[in-house]
Amino acid sequence: MKSLLKAVVLSASLLGATAATAQDTIRFAVTDIDGMEALQTEMGPFKDAFEKVSGLKVEFFAVSGRTVAVEAMAAEQVDFVLTGPAEYVVFNARLQAQPVVTWNRPDYYSDIVVLDGSAVQAPADLKGAKISFGEIGSTSQHLSPATLLAEGGLVYGTDYEPVFLKRNVAVEAMIAGEIAAIGMGRSHLEQITEKFPDQKFRVVVKGPELPADVLLAAPSVKPEVVDIVRKAFTEHGDELLAAITSVENNAKFIGGGFNATVTDADYDSVRKMYENVGVTEFLAFLE
């Protein structure tokens, strides 16, 4: 009987250890980093710092975009995903993924940009024109600029023709008079100003600060694990931010920080942006 009891206790201990081990590792993906090599390069310092302060192990899960990431979460292949505001809305609608902590970046807003010599002074002046946006479905390059135009009285796809051109191609088209304006993020305006030093650009409308990028958790992740992750960012934010921004490709987060009190309602403004481009269900990414 004693031998049997010892065996039962040992078996229970082994099962408990296995369960604990399963919770010691989180699988982590980033929607805008393509492939394992890039993920390890850009997020390696963060991984090391996070493991140190949280006690959790991080297992990278490489994806080739947002669609792959949401399908991986649906298949329970990934636990946490760092993604943008527009992407979060789809993750939440499809999978009930929940926000854990925002990754804030300074000066994250959109502009409607024209050539300095353009006669356009307000969104109403763009009625009947052709306007280029960046990546379709992007918060800062598509949804937010379209919303700025909507707030100026222009109906998407009715009062103007939206087109999607690569940024430099769009600038060349604007110089040639083929399009009237470009919707873009603030950082993109800096890039085209540098790329086209002989041209002067003017902002017709500057948008408000956008909701931040967000680390979200799959519905399968246990609440206690989410709490550990959230606590790591709350108590060791400076260390984690220093690790993240030690990589040049993460410079957009310099001067930013983390917010662990984020709620789903913080992204209602993004849902409204989708509605402004004619989308009322958020179950798929715009393509």
Give the tens place of pLDDT for each residue, 204-258: 999 999 999 999 999 999 999 999 999 999 999 999 999 999 999 999 999 999 9
**pLDDT for 8-27, tens place per residue?**
444 444 444 334 344 699 99
Same domain for 176 and 243? Answer: no
**How many folded domains does the chain comprise?**
2
Same domain for 58 and 147? Answer: no
Q: Tell me the two tokens of residue 127.
A: 């009625």
For the entire predicted model, the pTM comes to 0.89
Same domain for 151 and 187? Answer: yes
Residue 241 and residue 256 in contact, taking contact as beta carbons nearer than 8 Å: yes
Same domain for 101 and 167? Answer: no
71 to 31, 58, 142, 221: CA distances (angstroms): 12, 20, 23, 16
Is 129 part of a structural domain of the chain? Answer: yes
**pLDDT for 72-85, tens place per residue?**
999 999 999 999 99
Same domain for 102 and 114? Answer: no
Which residues make beta-bridge pairs with 162?
Answer: 131
Domain extent, residue 189, equals 110-206
Same domain for 62 and 93? Answer: yes
DSSP line for 201-221: EEEEEEPPPPPPEEEEE-TTS
Is 87 part of a structural domain of the chain? Answer: yes
Residue 57 and residue 51 in contact, taking contact as beta carbons nearer than 8 Å: yes
The helix/strand count (H/E) of the chain reads as 9, 11
| Burial class of 143 by CB neighbour count within 10 A (0 to 12, 13 to 18, 19+) | buried
Residue 154 and residue 126 in contact, taking contact as beta carbons nearer than 8 Å: yes
| Residue among 213, 177, 207 nearest 273 (CA) | 207
User: Residue 287: which pLDDT band, with cuts at 50, 70 and 90?
Assistant: confident
Domain of residue 184, CATH code: 3.40.190.10
CA distance 242 to 74: 32
Same domain for 42 and 183? Answer: no
Is 175 part of a structural domain of the chain? Answer: yes
